[in-house]
Amino acid sequence: MTTTDNMPNKVHEGRNIKRFREMLGIKQETLAQELGEDWTQSKVSHLETKDIVDPAILEQVARVLKVPVEAIKNFDEEAAINIVANTVNNHDNATGNSLFMYYPTFNPIDKIVQLYDEKMALYERMLKEKNELLEKLLAKKK
């Protein structure tokens, strides 16, 4: 046992937001647009540097990323790596950790297609909003 076992885990909420955003393939600019008019890419970048994020903002970001707030608050990369390292064994149960083995109950290809469809819907919505904005700007110039 190491002495770190008794120490509380220090979770960096901003870094976790960045991890989830990157895992979902979302750019800072896109997240900023989804968060609202007062958000910019640089504001998202600054948010991702914060140890603790305001609960209201954390809720808003979680909603946009479609992940539970608790996932952002509690995600610990080191713990996740340890779990994977201690349980992966090519399904041969050689480590004796068969209770912790992960066998997906879904088709990974279906999950990829689902994520792709969600991303495309987001991009289509953003494109529609941009077109509406451009049309308004053009109408003002006439």
Cite the beta strand spans of the chain per DSSP E.
none
Question: Are 9 and 50 within 8 A, CB to CB?
Answer: no
Q: Which tokens hold the place of 47?
A: 């948010």
pLDDT tens per residue across span 38-47 = 999 999 999 9
pTM of this prediction? 0.52
Residues 6 or more apart whose Cβ sits within 8 Å of residue 103? 91
Is the pLDDT at 77 greater than 60? The verdict is: yes
Torsion of CA 84, 89, 93, 99, to 10 degrees: 10
Encode pLDDT of 81-140 as tens digits.
554 455 444 444 444 444 445 555 667 777 788 888 888 899 899 999 999 999 999 999
